Amino acid sequence: MKSEIKEKADKYIMQTYGRFPLALVRGEGCWVWDEEGKKYLDFISGLGVNSLGHCHPAVVGAVKEQVEKILHCSNLYYTKPQAELAEILIKNSCFDRVFFCNSGAEANEAAIKLARKYSHLKYGEDRKEIISTLNSFHGRTMATITATGQTKYQAGFNPLLPGFKYVAYGDFEALKEAVSSQTCAVLIEPVQGEGGINTAEKDYWQALREFCSQNDILLIFDEVQCGLARTGKLFAYEALGVEPDIITLAKALGGGLPIGAMMARESAASAFRPGDHASTFGGNPVAAAAAVAVMKTFLTENIPGRAEKLGNYFQAKLRDLQFKYPQIKEVRGLGLMIGVEVAEKGPEIVKSCLEKGLLINCTAEKVLRFLPPLIIGEAEVDQAVNILADAFGENFKN
């Protein structure tokens, strides 16, 4: 029998999600509880949003303090949390300016608009093409599903926006061939998330950066899922040894509240002028205050270093399971953004884990995706691996 929460949701909310039969009512640290009081170890953390776990004291405290001051005033005026967040982001990155919005899709929309405006001002009307990669994911708006190199997200929404091309991820020669006199930007994830936790070699990134610089093509890194400490560095580009011209952020930035950001070097950022782009709620004082608390915690407690250390520990444990189960094809990832590719039964394993008290998900049909809170310790990793082992044992009977 359905609970009241599930009944209301199924009756009144548009059916755009394939939900698990679970209504969560409380979270603390790495754990969540459903309406029946069952406890779950959360290793998907709101799809990477709850970067410091659920209800982190610093985030909760910042939100409580801010809601008693001012909730919203629009970007017609200045606010302290937004200015403070901008300073932290810029001083700890290679960028000069930031634009605030509400989500990763909005951040990527802003990046697409900025790239085209920059090229329009410098080269005229015809240079507006953007190259992205196959198996990428950049959002659900019309521009960002067009940029996304997966037809399953585009089906039924034609006509898509003109001016986009797709090349194989990590294939520099394919990208070079795709570039034309109309190309203004390359949009790419340092680690593909929805595409299956895919990474590319360092020499690919170095060649890509050099090529874009030589041809005045803006290099845009979509770090919506992989950014902000998850890869073992504050920004994923630091792990690759190159610096993009534009970066997009969201998910982890607000620690649970909706906020996105697009940052750029001054040479590109100056293409935006008053009236070119905007967001009513972008950089909202409450969301910005939460993000300030998140960023300060990342920096003062060396959360990126923790993610690198625990990511190595977790991957080693997963590779131990790989020796036992040949159905595990590959363990890959960076920091605490990890994918386990299985030959079969990915969704069944996710369901088994849920029944045993572990929340994960399956992406690209066969990749078990792990985006745990960055505050996990070895004890939580061990518990997750033990549950996984039981789930593999049930589903991979030899």
Confirm if 334 and 191 have CB atoms less than 8 A apart: yes
Between CA 17 and CA 23, with CA 18 as vertex, the angle to 5 degrees is 90
Shortest CA distance to 228 belongs to which of 310, 303, 301, 287? 303
- Cα(61)–Cα(39) distance, integer angstroms: 24
Active site residue 95: no
Confirm if 186 and 200 have CB atoms less than 8 A apart: no
The helix (run of H) or strand (run of E) holding residue 233 is: none
CB atoms near residue 90 (< 10 Å): 14
Point out the catalytic residue in the list 117, 128, 233, 251: 251
Task: Supply φ then ψ for residue 164, to 5 degrees.
Answer: -125, 145
Point out the catalytic residue in the list 137, 221, 314, 396: 137
Active site residue 137: yes
Shortest CA distance to 250 belongs to which of 52, 106, 96, 55? 106
Point out the catalytic residue in the list 100, 222, 345, 392: 222
Shortest CA distance to 47 belongs to which of 318, 369, 350, 297? 369
Active site residue 113: no
Q: Where in the sequence numbering do the catalytic residues fall?
A: 137, 222, 251
